[in-house]
Amino acid sequence: MPPFPLQSDWAFVAGNLDLLLAGTGITIGLTAASILLGFLLGFPAGAVEVYSRGPLKRAVESAGVVLRGTPLLVIIILLFFGLSVSSSAFVTATIALGLRSAAYQSQIFRGALQSVDEGQLEAARAIGMGRLQAIRSVVVPQALRRSVPGFQNEFTIVLKDTSIAIVIGLGELLTVGQNLYQGGQSTAALEIFLTVSLIYFVLTFVTNRSLDYVDDHFSIPGGERA
């Protein structure tokens, strides 16, 4: 009898499913926190790139170029080991993923804001709205709708990239899987990582379908699909 029959490898995964699900919980939490941080920074950044002039615009654009031009792995290692921004791996990973996501989300929103034709802004100004109010009441609601497809992509990317937090030891899904395998308790590498992959897939699938629903729900009747 071989020391580790195939059946026992799957049994090992099944026996440790609670650990994998706990890791999945952290992955979901990290994704949500990072996307939220990315939105809170990225949306205003996109608006600044479209509507602002001068030093603020240049600063935002430069920050975006740097963040988009640096590998996420480097950002997260730099923040954790280099700058020690937080002793919490979760907080550090959120900042790293959130900043990187902000840089990408800003471009999604920039494009969406620019896609709303100037004439509508002019019409809003012509009935006496201030510039900010016109942007808020007329351009932003349409731009947000048009951001959904790009946002969908970004959500999926961030979700999967949370796995990079393995390098700072955060107990997210991939880290849990890796620990199970490396602990020397099992040779079930294939089974563990297939299960981990399946969980990532289910998460991205559900997320995408939910955002499809959001897209449908908020689409403008008679108008182009977002």
Q: Is 115 in the site for another protein (CB under 8 A)?
A: no
Restricting to residues 143-202, name those near another protein by CB under 8 A.
145
Check residue 221 for interaction with another protein (CB under 8 A).
yes
Considering only the stretches 6-14, 35-43, 127-135, 172-180, report the one whose residues sit in contact with another protein under the rule CB under 8 A.
127-135
Q: Which is nearer to another protein, 37 or 116 (CB)?
A: 116
Q: Is 173 exposed, middle or buried (0-12, 13-18, 19+ CB in 10 A)?
A: buried
119 binds another protein (CB under 8 A): yes
Q: Is 128 an interacting residue with respect to another protein (CB under 8 A)? A: yes
Figure out which of the listed residues 62, 88, 137, 153 binds another protein, where binding follows CB under 8 A: 137
Q: Quick one: tokens of 41? A: 């920074």
Q: Are 113 and 47 in contact (CB under 8 A)?
A: yes
Tell me the site size for another protein, rule CB under 8 A. Answer: 24
Q: Are 104 and 49 in contact (CB under 8 A)?
A: no
Do the Cβ atoms of 41 and 98 come closer than 8 Å? Answer: yes
What distances in angstroms separate CA 38 from CA 25, 35, 113, one per listed residue? 20, 5, 17
Residue 47 interacting with another protein (CB under 8 A): no
Q: Report how far residue 99's alpha carbon sits from residue 76's, in angstroms, rounded to the nearest whole number.
A: 10
Stretch that binds another protein, among 55-63, 166-174, 194-202, 215-223 (CB under 8 A): 215-223
| Cα separation, 18 vs 10, whole angstroms | 14
Residues near another protein (CB under 8 A): 116-117, 119-120, 122-130, 133, 137-138, 141-142, 145, 220-224
